[in-house]
Structure 1
């Protein structure tokens, strides 16, 4: 399948002021969305919702962790960046969360910028490369030289202090060192026998921060986990891959669920569907069966975690077609309906992104208002913020009673 353009074009476009040109697709009122499967009332469906309510009620004393897995909409960290801001405004800032081990082209993080010398690192991505060692998140960072380091710059500047650990795989003993403007810290990295392991945290660190590995031999880095020193508030991690379908998790090394469990998510969000919708040859029955199997696996691995499936957003594939239905990706409605059935069968939360937008072909009107990009797939910063506001209102409607 031809993968959709990632957020690189989107991110570049956000730097340009002024209005975006309206696509050649005519703007017209969006028809009502097709009838879809009814999902059980959220408060009755998700068995762990009360646990999340209680955790958020006590977020000033114990951190609450949210993890989102997804495609380019997640990798841009615009929608999720706004969600993170809203949660942290209401419940406290628990830190940056889990990020890639080295810079990933086309991927950004709203609260931190990763930089590193290209000569020191090799990046392997589950998007379009192969490896039997991909960690949770799908980015494999390989140091090329002894003393390979990365630099973390806060965006915007902050005076917070953090606990920082690395997700690593080592064939021999190694060491990681952290250096900020005030202090130095280090942790030993024992060999892991082919498994991924989170290192012990280095405490009370400030950003900007330099992180250095003693040796490049037999070492792979899967990411950094950056948590607030106070162990309170909300931590919101985004693990997105441009062009990804939910099946990308099958490329991750067995054991990725153990890493996910180590992050201790209280809410896990799955935000896929756009790339499945653009696959004209998608076997919807197989897709639904595999989706269901993965939710069952997640329930078993994370028995106390709230699961949320976000339905695929509206999009246009055939811009020159004469009717709205002909413009839609062929698999869009089958994918959305399968997502809803999986949510219903497994008692997860479900939020219809497309319904929030206004139904079929509604992205045309969003683009006319400069809230979607001309590709009629991705969104502008303002559009992602509007989506985040809608999603947060939905979630807040479920959890707000716990605040009183």
Structure 2
């Protein structure tokens, strides 16, 4: 009797083993099939979410947090984007919030002269129109655009720009010109102990001039000779704190930077940014024929270029805000730009795969078609695309608060 029970038990164990092996085989086949059709998931730590801000194991976040916490160095944040950046309300409020807590290290990098339809919240660039010609990568075809996509060429024998801060600026500042010149020339900065600054020939390269110590407002004079061009000014304080540089162009998409000289990423690296914010997506979303695969490939390539040039910089993708394109459509889905949700999903996926931060601006606003509610509260413009000053302020406060939570 005992022998019979023993044989029965062995048979059950054998049957279970066979079933287990068959199950493993089927599971293995199923996994192989899934890998063929599903995109690979990023390996490593799981993303951490604070509100609408997702940290996909950004490798340089702790370094930025430590630098801010120590409070004895300058921290540079550079935002590159479209009209939301070009208005400098969103980035301007980020600047104010960071500087109120961590100190004001100066305006950062600013365009060369005043740009029609755009705004810089820190410094007016006042000049005579007849003394300068302005070229923008948005509308003018050229091969020599620098970082920022703007060129100012002096037209007078001596062309002047008055850099006048919108708020009273006390103390010493350091000024550098981003310039390109075929031959040796010079610029003059006043007030300054050593006002004359040599601008050695750069050929086809863009270069920052030697720094000159000055006070604001400052008058900068540039000689026309030698084909000199100005791409912008780097203005920093002598004190520790934060700079937030806003490099925006109305109507821009991420592919706008492909109109700039390939050297643009090296110039950006020379600014030593601790964080680079890419704030594109609205104009891509309004493109009904957007090649989504090409867009994803370009976004990934730009992030990898930034990682290569600035391996210690935090990278943050800011998704497009909510917007409406077809006002008379019956449903919310039909009212939205055709590719808005696609662009957001691509940015979210690429951010996860490339280990960057991602902030879902549309979700912060309340999701699809929430811009109507914002417009009713005077937080958005009637075009249902751009926000009001208060709307940008609220958005900046939201991102700043969530960033601070993650930095803690």
- The answer for the alignment partner of 2:14 in structure 1 is none
Superposed, 1:1-80 pairs within 5 Å as 40-41=47-48, 42=54, 45-59=57-71, 61-80=72-91
Alignment partner, residue 120 of structure 2: 109
Asked if the contact 1:101/1:141 (under 8 Å) is kept, the reply is: yes
Is the aligned partner of 1:249 residue 2:257?
yes
Paired residues of 1:148 and 1:216 also in contact (CA < 8 A): no
Deviation track 1:343-382 (CA, whole Å, cap 9, x = no partner) reads: 0110000000000000000000000000000000001110
Task: Tell me which moved more, 107-116 or 350-359.
Answer: 107-116
- 1:237 counterpart (219, 222, 245): 245
Where does residue 343 of structure 2 map in the other structure?
A: 335
Match of 1:185 among 195, 198, 211: 195
Shift of 1:317: 0.2
Establish whether residue 280 from structure 1 lines up as the match of residue 279 from structure 2. no
Q: CA separation in 2, counterparts of 1:342 and 1:216?
A: 46
Q: Deviations over 1:76-111 (max 9, x none)?
A: 000111100000011000000001111111111111
Query: 1:352-363, aligned counterparts within 5 Å?
Result: 352-363=360-371
Corresponding residue for residue 224 of structure 1: 233
Would the aligned equivalents of 2:90 and 2:395 in 1 still touch at CA under 8 Å? yes
The 3-state SS of whatever aligns with 1:148 is: strand
Q: Unaligned stretches of 5+ in structure 1?
A: 1-36
1:163 offset after TM fit, Å?
0.2
The 8 Å contact of residues 136 and 259 in structure 1, kept in 2 or not, is answered as yes
Matches for 1:186-201 after TM superposition, within 5 Å:
186-201=196-211
- 1:298-341 deviation line (CA, Å, top 9, x unaligned): 11111000000001110000011111111100010000000011
Distance 1:394 1:237 in 2: 20
Unpaired runs of at least 5, structure 2: 1-40, 49-53
Note if contact 1:316-1:328 (Cα within 8 Å) is conserved in structure 2.
yes
Distance in 2 of aligned mates of 1:196 and 1:44: 34
User: Matched residues in 2 for 1:220 and 1:361: separation?
Assistant: 44
How far does residue 215 in structure 1 lie from its aligned partner after superposition?
A: 3.0
SS at match of 1:157: coil
Q: Partners of 1:142 and 1:108 in 2: how far apart?
A: 20
For the 8 Å contact 1:91–1:233, the answer to whether it is kept is: yes
Change (3 A) 1:216 1:101: farther
Matched, 1:324 2:336: no
Equivalent in the alignment of 2:144? 133
Q: Find the counterpart in structure 1 of residue 30 from structure 2.
A: none
Alpha carbons 2:184, 2:226 under 8 Å: kept: no
Equivalent in the alignment of 2:402 = 394
Partner of 1:266: 274
| Distance verdict in 2 for CA 1:43–1:330, change over 3 Å | closer
Greater CA radius of gyration, 1 or 2? 2
- Structure-2 separation of matches of 1:144 and 1:69: 29
Taking structure 1 as the reference length, what is the TM-score of the superposition? 0.87
Q: Is the 8 A contact 1:98 1:225 kept in 2?
A: yes
Alignment TM-score, normalising by the size of structure 2: 0.86
> What is the CA–CA distance in structure 2 between the aligned matches of 1:304 and 1:156, rounded to whole Å?
32
The Cα shift of 1:128 comes to 1.4
The aligned length equals 360
The offset of 1:137, in angstroms, is 0.3
Q: Answer yes or no: is the 8 Å Cα contact 1:162–1:206 preserved in 2.
A: yes
Which position in structure 2 is the counterpart of 1:98?
109
1:124 aligns with 2:135: yes
**2:307 is equivalent to residue 299 of structure 1:** yes
Residue 187 of structure 1 and its aligned partner are, at CA, apart by 1.1
1:24-44 CA-partner distances (Å, limit 9, x unpaired): xxxxxxxxxxxxx99822556
Contact 1:167 1:197 in 2 (8 A): yes
For residues 154-204 of structure 1, the C-alpha deviation after alignment (integer angstroms, 9 at most, x for no partner) is 111222321000000010101111113x7562210000021000011101x
Please provide the CA RMSD for this pair.
1.5
Which protein is richer in helix relative to its size? 2
